[in-house]
Structures are given as C-alpha cells and as structure tokens.
Structure 1
C-alpha cells in the first residue's frame, strides 16, 4: 500500500515506466484484498474467542471506540489528501459523504465495519461450522444482486458505501464482506494451528494451493496478459469488484498469507521494518499519508516533478521513516506505562 501511494502520490500513472506499471504497480494490488482478509483474521484471533467471556461487552465497546477513532482519522486525512488541490466546497462535500477521497478511503471502510461487525461476532461464534464456511457465497451473491437490481432509492453514495458504485472510489461493506468472512474462517483455523509446526505448514500449503488455483483461473481467462495487467494496475475492475481484478488481487493476497503463516516469527524477525509497520496499522496510515501529502507534495513541491526512480527511493525512505516512528511511538508508550506502574506500586 505504501509503495503504491508513495509512487502514485508523486506522479500520475501515465508517467510510470513500463516496468513501474508491470510488475511493480500491478503487484501492489495484492494489498487491497490482503488488508480486508487480515482484518477478518484479526477479529477471529483476538475477539471471536472472547465473545463468551464475562467482559465481552467491554471488549466490544473497545472495538466500537476504535471504529470512532478510525472514523476521526479518516476525516482528518481526507482533508490532508484534498488540501491544496481541491476547493473548500469539494472538501466539505467529501466530509459529508457526498463524495469520496481515493488514497484514504480504505479507512472509511474500516471505520464503518468496526461500528457494526462487533455486534455480529457473538452470532458468528455460535454459528455451525458448515454454515460459517458457506457464508461468503450468499454474501457475495447478495452484493451482486443489489448492485445490479436495486437503485438504493436513487442515492449513489449509499450504494457506494454498501455495494460500491462505478463513479465513486470507495469500498462497499457488502461488496468486501466475503473477504472479511474468508478472513474470519482463516483466522479460526490459524488460532488452532499456529502453535503446531505441522498444522501451520499444512495451513500455509492450503493457502498456497488456493493462490495457485486463483492465478491459474486468472491466466486461463486472461487472453493477452500485459494489457490486462496494466488495466489492473490502473484499478480497472477494483470498484465495484470485477472477476479478473479480484482473481489477481486475492491470488496474490493468499500467496502472501501463505508466506506469512509459513515464515511465522522467523520471517517477522528478518522483515522487522515491515513487521513494525504492521504492528500499528492506523499509525502507519497516518504517518505515510501525512508525509506524502503535507511534506513531499505541499512543502517540498515534489508532485509531478520527480522521476519514477526517485519516487521509488523516496518511498523506500518513507517506509523506513514510518517503521522508525512506530517503533519510537511504541517505545515511548511502554516507557510511560512502566513509569505509571512503578508509581502505582510506590503508592
């Protein structure tokens, strides 16, 4: 995601060299499905097992509060993205959901999801396993049917928020719902399998096979490959989700998941900067969007004035800076907590 934003935030896609379009920018499309699946995995691992605990209402409320925090930062970063290149009226329209941003819109999806999904997690925990495994299918069908047969009372923005709309770059709750459910399913298996090396490797193998099957399906239907990959790199078929984009994006997402599950803590150690960025996704989003739009574009005036190679270099520096900031932020919070605990013990 940061690679995509760091390059496309500094120069238009038409200025990318051929190798920057394919494979570099095309590969970044794996993140769009990976993030939603990982969202479901996190819910399954950290919250679903707690739905029967006495303190579940408190845990649910923390998730709801997190949704409000994400919503706050979504609005703030919308202004950051649009400031300097859009008039006040356009910014206000976007803040009021009459329009949508592009770079930060994924935060809007998470914010809304965190306000309704926590209420359904206890029901998910009680649902029979066979019904859970079938659940992505009816949700995908419902999203498709509503997209093609319901006009949402003539409110395209409402359609965009639920099943997406071709005129708005936004993430629909129901359109991406199947990926959340897939993440919940994977997370449930991961919770049981992770500590046993054999079962973890078996899960990684299954994820790799699913990835291979999705890519095979993609290649069978692809025809002339490079023009299709260029279209995918340009987000053709992303909103609303279309088959070829989703086959490519989810195929890559499953491949990365297989690698992460197989590599486990060893891989996290060797890819420490990426692991640090992933440890606080919201902070990573705040930092990299702020640096791109406030520092690189507005303060330094680098928009459309750099080569693609320089944009890649700046993006690499941005990744390092984001990881460093998150590490320092975490270290500061840990130090404050230790100080607070010591004070409590003295009293």
Structure 2
C-alpha cells in the first residue's frame, strides 16, 4: 500500500462542498480585511480579537488547502493523458491572469496609504503589500506547480506522505540559517522573512501537498456515503489532534487566553511558527470536514458562500476594490467607523460579493 501511486477515479459531478470550503475561507478573509483595512487591529476591542478576529485565522490555511484539493480533483487525473498539455497550459495562463490582478490590486491597496515610490517598489518585488499578498502566492504557485504535478503523480504513497514534512523542515532551516545572498525579497518569496508580509512558496508548499493528498481521498471516497463518512471522520480527527497539540504546546509557556490573543494578533503567522500553524490548520481541517459532511445540501443552504467559492478570483477582486478604492480612498473611511460598524460592513460585503459574481454570470449569459 505504501508503494501505491495516486488512485484517481473520475468524479461524476463538481464537488460543491469544495466550493463551499473555499467560499468560507474567502468570507473569513473579507471580514478580516474589512476590519484591518478600515479600522486597524490596534483599535479592535478585546471581545473582537477573541473570538471574532481569532476565527479568521483559519482562512489562509483553508484557502491553500483547498487550492491543493482543487488541483488534485480537477487536474491530477489528467496527468499523462493526451489532454494534459492543454490542462497544464490552462493552469499557467490562469497563473498569469492572477499575477496581473495581484499587481493591479497591489496598486489599489497601496494607493490610499503609500507614496508613488513605495507602490512602484512593490510592483518590482522590492517590497510587498499585505492584504493582497496571498494572491501573489497563488499566482507564482500556478506558474510552476503544473510542471511538477507529473512527478507527484508518479511518486509512491510513502514519499507523498514524507515529502510535506521534509519540505517544511527544509523551509524552516533555510529561513533561519540561509540569507539568500542578502536578497530579502527572494527570501520572502521562497521561505518568508520577518520584515515582509508574504506567503513563501516553500513555506506553504506542505499545505498544498496536504491538499493534494486530501484531494486524492475526495476522488476515491467522496462518491460513496460510507467511505465519505470515514474521510470526514479522518479530517475531523486530524483537525482535533492539531488543535489539541496547539493547546498542549502553548500551555507550556503561557496561559490559554494569552495564547489565543497572540494568534489573533498574527503572532507566528509570518514566518510560520508551530503554535499559529497548529491552530490555523487544525481549524481549517475541521471546517473542511464539516463542508464535506454537509455535501451538496450544505452548499445549497449556504448558496452565497458557495457562489463566492466557485469564483474566488472575482470575489477577491471585488472586496479589495470596495474596501480600499471605494471606502478607504474615495470615501476616506479610514478609522471613521467603530468596530461594530466595520464588522457590519465586512458581513454585508459577503452577500454583496456573491451578488456581484451572480450578476456577472447573468450578464455574460445574456450578452
């Protein structure tokens, strides 16, 4: 069994539970970006940091996990077929499209805050934005991952299980002990740097690989009710173990309340540290398990969230433009509203984003 290559039976229909999980990740991002982009974390009351802002820490890990799952479900079964070159080109072109929007939204994000020189520096990878930086990770990953997916496809199970751990250890070692010839942006892009808010390609690659493994499980077991339950229980159990590991780890050095507050303040997010990642990935796995358990019915009940997850790029573009171009720049709404008000703005943006995506689809169908 450990020598087995990926088993990838085709699915008969789109797995809307994956769209729901991605939509939850983006909805949590929207709440976080609205609060931090319009008010700032320093103005958030304690009851807003824990538990409300704390829960948004699941979003980034969930988004990257679902990225790996989607690669496995939609593209990995095509590796080695006559259709693979076309699929690979589609991924690369998508990466170029995301790269364009990453740079465009960098300007949108920084325009109300920074002078022209800083914006140009960010466009040239001499510095980095904050709120749209995960889009930069996604763009770069789409440009190189399609070329190594065939290697993953040929690897036996034991090596697919070991590789995420090995890559994670390598990333930590490089971040701590290798200085990348003094080129800070290169270090930030690959393994992250304490002075830059980035998502490192190697630092977050283990999460993509974990998503690929989960995606393989979805292909094999999601179609049957009995095996789906076992998959859900496995994911929920893994999430519970990671969250329990977070509790056990932090209680050796601090109190539980202080540890939750530190996570809410992004301590250990960039570069990734064990407590933050145990909490974030554990919560992401629990959410993913609930989405797969609910399946199509949950996706239908939470249709606006599912719609957002079905078109992540358009959802990301819309909420960043509204927050930073519409509210922060044009309406000069920086620290104008109270925390409950900006939280309400963030919550209102979620159905508005879904409505915008639905409108664009309706318009394209009729134009």
Cα gap change, 1:50 to 1:334, in 2 (>3 Å): farther
Check if 1:101 corresponds to 2:129. Answer: yes
Query: What is the TM-score with the length of structure 1 in the denominator?
Result: 0.95
Q: Which residue of the partner structure matches residue 342 of structure 1? A: none
Q: Which residue of the partner structure matches residue 257 of structure 2? A: 226
Match of 2:61 among 33, 36, 43: 33
Q: Encode CA deviations 1:41-87: one digit per residue, 9 max, x unaligned.
A: 00000000001220211110110000000000000000000002111
Check if 1:12 corresponds to 2:43. Answer: no
Check if 1:87 corresponds to 2:86. Answer: no
Check if 1:165 corresponds to 2:196. Answer: no
How far has the Cα of 1:149 moved from its partner? 2.0
How far has the Cα of 1:194 moved from its partner? 1.1
Match of 1:257 among 283, 288, 298: 288
How far has the Cα of 1:281 moved from its partner? 0.3
Distance 1:74 1:333 in 2: 24
Match of 2:184 among 148, 151, 156: 156
How far has the Cα of 1:127 moved from its partner? 1.1
Q: Which residue of the partner structure matches residue 84 of structure 2? A: 56
Q: Which residue of the partner structure matches residue 145 of structure 2? A: 117
Q: Which residue of the partner structure matches residue 22 of structure 1? A: 50
Q: Which residue of the partner structure matches residue 42 of structure 1? A: 70
Q: Encode CA deviations 1:210-242: one digit per residue, 9 max, x unaligned.
A: 111011111112231222212211111001000
Distance 2:262 2:185 in 1: 25
Distance 1:327 1:199 in 2: 34
Match of 1:214 among 242, 253, 258: 242
How far has the Cα of 1:36 moved from its partner? 0.7
How far has the Cα of 1:116 moved from its partner? 0.4
How far has the Cα of 1:296 moved from its partner? 1.3
RCO comparison, higher one (Cα < 8 Å, 6+):
2
Gaps of 5+ in 2: 1-28
Distance 1:169 1:291 in 2: 22
Q: Which residue of the partner structure matches residue 24 of structure 2? A: none
Structure 1 moving runs of 4+ over 6 Å: none
In angstroms, what is the RMSD of aligned CA positions? 1.0
Check if 1:188 corresponds to 2:219. Answer: no
Q: Which residue of the partner structure matches residue 275 of structure 1? A: 306
Q: Encode CA deviations 1:119-138: one digit per residue, 9 max, x unaligned.
A: 01111111112211221111
Task: Figure out how many residues of one structure are paired with residues of the other and give that number.
Answer: 336
Query: Is the Cα contact below 8 Å between 2:112 and 2:324 reproduced in 1?
Result: no
Match of 1:78 among 106, 122, 133: 106
How far has the Cα of 1:95 moved from its partner? 0.5
Distance 2:115 2:42 in 1: 25
Query: Is the Cα contact below 8 Å between 2:105 and 2:321 reproduced in 1?
Result: yes
Match of 2:160 among 124, 129, 132: 132
How far has the Cα of 1:333 moved from its partner? 2.8
Gaps of 5+ in 1: 337-347
Query: What is the TM-score with the length of structure 2 in the denominator?
Result: 0.90
